[in-house]
Amino acid sequence: MVLTILLTALALLATAFVVVLGRAALRRGTGAPGPESVILGAVANFFDTLGIGSFAPTTAWLRFRKMTPDSFIPATLNVGHALPTMVQSAVFLVLLGVHVDPMLLVSCIVAAVAGAVVGAPLMVRAPVRVVQGIVGVALLIAAALYAMSNLDLMPIGGTAAALEPRLLWIAVAAHFVMGMLMAFGIGLYAPSLILLSLLGLDPRLAFPVMASACAFLMPTTGFRYINAERIDLRIVIGIALGGIPAVLVAAFVVKEMPIEPLRWAVVVVVLYAAALLLRAAAKKEVAAA
């Protein structure tokens, strides 16, 4: 029953999101997306479905290629990856959702959405320097998580499909904070997977939780970001067009592949992008002073 409600809500949310995004693109006269953004969306969401995450690699590439201003990155990430993530959530709910405690699943989704509602207005009003600094620090954390994963320093996790009440409240509070940070372009996947594994949840069952939390919160912030000034709709549409089929290929065709070498490559690129963002934020701070 819960899965049916969630899948129905996802379908309705995705339909509304497509309509709002399409109207905004027509109103602004947004041209066709370039092939680079489509390929970026395909690659990022392909590996996102396999568990590597999409925000950090996408941020690194956008910054490395200077495809959009730094302050545009959080909104571009949240709106561009929203539809592929909704597809990903539907896939994980169908494949694994039946095994997850409905209370844990729904509570984490609601908490993440609530956090995003609080975080989105803050991001829209935040100075460019603040956005650069936050995203730069987030990339450093992401690089550390990728490295820890490759060095087998990540928590193995348990075998539980549910959490006792005390641990459930910890998970809910943490997903509220992660929802706020998602509004600034800080990915939820790795922190959520680590937290739920530490609390004893089967890591495989963390996928429908974290994917569904993102799938509901990203359109929540996205509806606000679509009409904001700090967003590049051409890149957004390209990421979505490339990402949706890539999710389906990863989930149903490839399913699993060795990604450790790719993680090390991502570490290098992400560290480089983080250094650029933090340097830009520091320069603006010095200039302001």
Average pLDDT over residues 16-21: 96
| Model confidence at 173: pLDDT above 50 | yes
Average pLDDT over residues 121-146: 76
Cα angle at 214 between 277 and 157, to 5 degrees?
Answer: 95
What is the reported pLDDT for 236?
Answer: 96
What is the reported pLDDT for 257?
Answer: 64
Q: For 84-120, what is each residue's pLDDT tens digit?
A: 999 999 999 988 877 889 999 999 999 999 999 998 8
Q: pLDDT-based confidence at 289, cuts 50/70/90?
A: very low
What is the reported pLDDT for 176?
Answer: 95
Terminus-to-terminus CA distance in the chain, angstroms? Answer: 57
Query: Are 41 and 239 in contact, with CB atoms under 8 Å apart?
Result: yes
What is the reported pLDDT for 233?
Answer: 94
Q: How far apart are CA 175 and CA 221, in angstroms?
A: 15
Greater confidence (232 vs 203) lies with 232
| Model confidence at 122: pLDDT above 90 | no
Q: pLDDT-based confidence at 286, cuts 50/70/90?
A: very low
Identify the weakest region by mean pLDDT among 48-57, 112-121, 167-176.
48-57
Q: For 149-171, what is each residue's pLDDT tens digit?
A: 777 766 666 788 889 999 999 99
Arithmetic mean of pLDDT over the chain: 85
Q: Give me the residue label for tokens 């409905």.
A: 102
Share of the chain above pLDDT 90, in %: 44
What is the reported pLDDT for 95?
Answer: 84
Greater confidence (159 vs 285) lies with 159
